[in-house]
Structures are given as C-alpha cells and as structure tokens.
Amino acid sequence: MLCQLCGINEATIHLTEIVDNQMVELHVCEQCAKEKAVDLSPPVSFNDILSGLVDFTSRKENEGVDVKCPTCGLTYEKFKKIGRLGCVDCYQSFQSFLYPLIKKVQGTTHHLGKRPSRLSGSMKIELEVKELADKLKKHVAREEFEDAAHVRDKIKMLEMKLKKKGQKK
C-alpha cells in the first residue's frame, strides 16, 4: 500500500482515529509521518505496564527480598525493570512472585486455550467426555435433571465408542 500523503513510498505506519463514531484510517510512510510531526513513540511500553503490575501485585511480599536465578543470575529487581525473564529456570526461581502476576493478567494460572487441531479420534472423544461431565455437574447443581439425563446418555455413548476403539487395537 502506498503512502496516502506522498503516493510514492510504501506506507509503513497505519493510524486509526475515531471521530464522531466514524473510523478514519491514515496510511503513511515514515518520511511523511516525520514531516507531519506524527509522534511514533508508543505512549506506554509493554515493559512499563508489566513492571507496574509486578509492583502492584507483589509490593508487600517482596520488600527487602532480592531473589536471584541460580542459572542466569537475573535478580527479581532486574526482572521488574526489564519485564523479561532470563532463562527457563527463572520461572521456578520467581514462582512465588510470578503466579500472582500471571493470575492478575490472565485470570488463571492454568492453560484454558484451544485444542490442538490434530487430536487423534480417541483424544477428541476423551476431551468431549470431560466437557460433558462438567456440563452434567452444572445441570445437576441447577436441578435440571432432564438436561442432565441427556448429557449422561451422550457420555455413555461416547464411552462405548472409546471402548470399541480400545478393543480394535
């Protein structure tokens, strides 16, 4: 895409502004952006946000404590400043400080993401059974017994499929 101002250079900066509930986009090259005095520096860096969260979540817990990773030598104080861990062992070294931070940022410390697209048939069924079991518990807790019975029947059917697959091997 060419710059909308000069029409010569490749647009590398894409600005979006909302004016009167209308979105206006401007695509410009770096040279035109500098000439028009567009401030290209982000207002707040990710490291600033992360270090602010680190300070907020663990201010009292880490007063006077300077934990150090035995593998790379990174201190917790330095991690707070740079916002990056030094090595894989830092996770273990700073675990007591990272868990509250991760929970604050992501809402949980357990991965709840998408499933891999290439799951084998039996693994897909096992996951579905687990999801249905959770659904069943919720229906029973809300005393929705008819819905619970349908879910129970689906679980039984899937478990039978799993047994058949296990016997074929």
For residue 7, count other CB atoms closer than 10 A to its CB.
Answer: 10
Q: What is the pLDDT of residue 47?
A: 54
Distance, in Å, from the CA atom of 157 to the CA atom of 63, rounded to the nearest integer, reads: 56
Q: Of the given ranges (67-76, 107-116, 130-139), which has the lowest mean pLDDT?
A: 107-116
Express as a percent the part of the chain with pLDDT over 70.
74
CB atoms within 10 A of CB 131: 12
Kindly state the percentage of the chain with pLDDT values over 90: 24
- Tell me the pLDDT band of 56, cut-offs 50, 70 and 90: very low
The full DSSP string for 65-123 is: ---B-TTT--BHHHHHHH---SSTTHHHHTHHHHHHHHHHHHS-SS---PPPTT--HHH
The predicted-structure confidence for 35-44, as pLDDT tens digits, reads as follows 776 555 555 4
Among 27-36, 71-80, 126-135, which is the least confidently predicted range? 27-36
Question: Are the C-beta atoms of residues 90 and 72 closer than 8 Å to each other?
Answer: yes
Spans of all domains in the chain: 1-41, 46-106, 121-168
User: How deeply is 32 buried, as exposed, middle or buried, from its count of CB atoms within 10 A (0-12, 13-18, 19+)?
Assistant: buried
Structure tokens at 39: 């401030």
**End-to-end distance of the chain based on CA atoms, in angstroms?**
56
Distance between alpha carbon 70 and the CA centroid of its chain, in Å?
28
Average pLDDT over residues 10-20: 79
Distance CA 82, CA 90 (A): 14
5's CB contacts (< 8 A; 6+ apart) are 28, 29, 32, 36
